[in-house]
Chain A
Amino acid sequence: MHQALKTTYKQDMSLLANRSGVFWYTLLIAALLLVPGVLGEFYVNELGGVYIFAIAGVGLMLLTGYTGLVNLGQGAFLGIGAYTNSVLMTKGVPFVITLPLSGIFAAVAGVLLGIPTLRMTGFYLAIATLAFGSIVGTIFQKWTAVTGGFDGFAVPTPTIMGYPIEGATGVYYMSLFVLIFVLWMSINILRSPVGRAMVAIRDSEVSAQSMGINLSLYKTISFAISSGITGLAGALFAHYVRFLAPDSFDILLSIQFVTIIFVGGLGSLHGAIFGALFVRLLPQLIAIVRDDLPFGIGRLPGLEPSLFGLVLVLVILFEPTGMYGRWLKLKAYFKNFPLHRRGGARRQKAYAKSERLR
């Protein structure tokens, strides 16, 4: 594959690899800033949801895609962030304080989950996090004194320096801002020793340990960062839904997050964004084409979850690198257009490590 040739240290330290990247990303951000003026409120609202899920996806991507730790309970951290934010706001704490607090609170919860599960790998970790998510979900339902139980409660409107952040447009800009901040932070974390250690742990725990990486420390840090970012997404999610009820934070939400990073492409921040676009916009797409489908397919109940399942299965079977991997392959195909070789992107065959002694 093509590698950028770097000639100066400054080039190595810049966030984006080359000039065309700077150009296109500036253009993209400018376009996104203009969206609320152009598109209707419905689309602005949906895009706000995409950003919030992308933030949570980036959080999970750092944990699963870069550190190799599975978390099937990410929805719980979104819930912790959402409830921390909203409960504090009803007590009169301003939004500028509750937003970082909900991230910190979720990060602490992430450490609390991370420390006991340090020794677990693979599916044991998946099951443990699944159990954790379900326990937290039940706490949201039963701790009525704080969460209001099944009745839920309305989330107050946030204000920043006296300006109320209202409606779809307010949530849109707020989420976009937090998403850009989180992406900037994640890119920098991934280039720092912490990020390098995370990737080393993902690739081989044994060799990471022999290079002097403290496995427990970096795994716990990874859990903290991941759940902290998801907690931020949770705070925004509370304002997105405007009414908190505990049944929004169930297993299915956690599975949606894992779908985001899998369909988007494991091990790339782009993947988290692509995945969030897919997961949030697929239901809308179905809603739009529902009436035009032949044979009444569109009116079948349960079309949406089955499509989710089908896409997940197809991605794992045929494109394990996800949407971003496919995009890279397409780009490579057009870059060396007439000279494309079929085997160029073939993966090295990997064999799962056996956990048996024999």
Chain B
Amino acid sequence: MDDAARLLQLVINGAAGGCIYGVIALGFVLIYKATEMINFAQGDLMMLGGFVALSLIANLGVNYWAGAVLAIAIMAVFGFLLDSIILRRVIGQPQFAVIMLTLGLGFIFRAFAGITFGYGSYTFATPFTNKVERFGGIVIGQDSLSIVVGTVILCAILYLFFSKTRLGIAMQAASQNQLAAYYMGIPVRTIFSLIWGISAAASCVAGILLAPSTVLDVNMGFLGFKAFAAAVLGGFGSIPGALVGGVIIGIVEQLAGYYLPAGFQEVTSNIVLLLVLILRPQGIFAETQRKKV
């Protein structure tokens, strides 16, 4: 295989992995835009989503597609309840309290998944496992392809939802100006819980998309920390930015893994994150300016 084809291969694999980061980062951004909270348990929500899908599909024998939809619905309800029962109580406390709260919740989710599903590594059969497509000289696994296609579909659905439906527009309004939204009769608190639901559902999608290419284990939630790089690169307030940031991080990570010595692949996302925060804290898709006194 010549260099150009290898490079293309790396880029495509990286983009597929990056889509996962992008979808998780999307969850961060949705919640941040609406409530100015940062959910450090987003990766653990992805892990829980993956395990719910696993238990539905592999253990209960539900059809893959039905199981996936059901798992997404379950996680959406879970996210809704998480906000309406727990996170709503800390509104008004310093941002750091929210960070610690979600970190603590992440611990609980991990232990819950470990106790319920076990601490081993699990896989379940998907229609995409171990199948490849050939385009000219390039071989692409269907698992990678399914991640990209799934991400595009998710984004299309979210875009249509936020721009065309009454509820989606109400969500935009609530995240732009809470007070004005209240005056217009929008139930802002319910809207925020719904946004948490959507965010949890998005992470569940990430978990299901990731299932064909890796094994599920309770510590896969740490992937969520890498997705911070994606969200920060995209500017932390921009939904397309999060996705583009995720893809960039994924590609850079693949290239670093191939061209740089061992050890660099794991830290690339963190180095990119620090560089972006130092050099261009508003991200590449800056939407907001710095607040001035």
Chain A residues proximal to chain B, CB less than 8 Å: 64, 70, 72, 116-117, 119-120, 122-124, 126-128, 130-132, 134-135, 138, 141-142, 206, 251, 255, 258-259, 262, 300-303, 305-306, 308-313, 316-317, 320, 349-352, 354-358
Q: Is the interface of A mostly helix, strand, loop or mixed?
A: helix
Given the known A-B contacts A131-B229, A317-B89, A349-B92, are A306 and B112 also in contact in the complex, defined by CB atoms under 8 Å? Answer: yes
How far, in whole Å, are A275 and B290 apart by their CA atoms in the complex?
A: 36
Which of B38, B262, B267, B293 gathers the greatest number of chain A CB atoms within 10 Å? B267
How far, in whole Å, are A299 and B264 apart by their CA atoms in the complex?
A: 39
The closest CB in chain A to the CB of B236 belongs to: A124
Beyond A120-B277, A306-B112, 17 extra complex contacts between A and B, CB < 8 Å? A117-B278, A124-B232, A127-B228, A127-B232, A128-B274, A128-B277, A132-B270, A134-B267, A251-B222, A302-B115, A303-B111, A306-B110, A312-B100, A313-B101, A316-B97, A355-B288, A356-B291
Interface size class of B (residues with CB under 8 A): 35 or more
* B176 contact set on A, CB distance < 8 A: 358
* B135 contact set on A, CB distance < 8 A: none
A137 to chain B, nearest CB (A): 9
B100 touches A258 (CB 8 A): yes
The closest CB in chain B to the CB of A122 belongs to: B95
A352 touches B111 (CB 8 A): no
How far, in whole Å, are A301 and B115 apart by their CA atoms in the complex?
A: 6
* A305 contact set on B, CB distance < 8 A: 107, 110-111
How far, in whole Å, are A124 and B92 apart by their CA atoms in the complex?
A: 18
Which of B100, B115, B277, B281 gathers the greatest number of chain A CB atoms within 10 Å? B100
B108 touches A309 (CB 8 A): yes
Contact of B99 among A126, A302, A357, A358 (CB under 8 A): A126
B153 to chain A, nearest CB (A): 29
Which of A70, A302, A303, A316 gathers the greatest number of chain B CB atoms within 10 Å? A316
* A127 contact set on B, CB distance < 8 A: 38, 228, 232, 273, 277
* B114 contact set on A, CB distance < 8 A: 301-302
A-B contact count (CB 8 A): 143
How far, in whole Å, are A312 and B86 apart by their CA atoms in the complex?
A: 13
* B106 contact set on A, CB distance < 8 A: 309
The closest CB in chain B to the CB of A64 belongs to: B96
A357 touches B289 (CB 8 A): yes
Given the known A-B contacts A309-B107, A349-B92, A350-B92, are A251 and B225 also in contact in the complex, defined by CB atoms under 8 Å? Answer: yes
Give me 7 A-to-B residue pairs in the complex whose CB atoms sit less than 8 angstroms apart, sorted by A's number: A128-B273, A130-B228, A255-B103, A313-B104, A316-B97, A355-B291, A358-B176
* A312 contact set on B, CB distance < 8 A: 100-101, 103-104, 107
Given the known A-B contacts A138-B266, A313-B104, A313-B105, are A302 and B274 also in contact in the complex, defined by CB atoms under 8 Å? Answer: no
* B293 contact set on A, CB distance < 8 A: 206
B196 to chain A, nearest CB (A): 16
Given the known A-B contacts A122-B96, A128-B273, A131-B228, are A116 and B278 also in contact in the complex, defined by CB atoms under 8 Å? Answer: yes
* A130 contact set on B, CB distance < 8 A: 225, 228
B261 to chain A, nearest CB (A): 8
Given the known A-B contacts A124-B277, A128-B277, A320-B93, are A310 and B104 also in contact in the complex, defined by CB atoms under 8 Å? Answer: yes
B90 touches A302 (CB 8 A): no
How far, in whole Å, are A259 and B99 apart by their CA atoms in the complex?
A: 11
Given the known A-B contacts A127-B228, A358-B177, are A350 and B111 also in contact in the complex, defined by CB atoms under 8 Å? Answer: no
The closest CB in chain A to the CB of B228 belongs to: A127
* A320 contact set on B, CB distance < 8 A: 93, 97
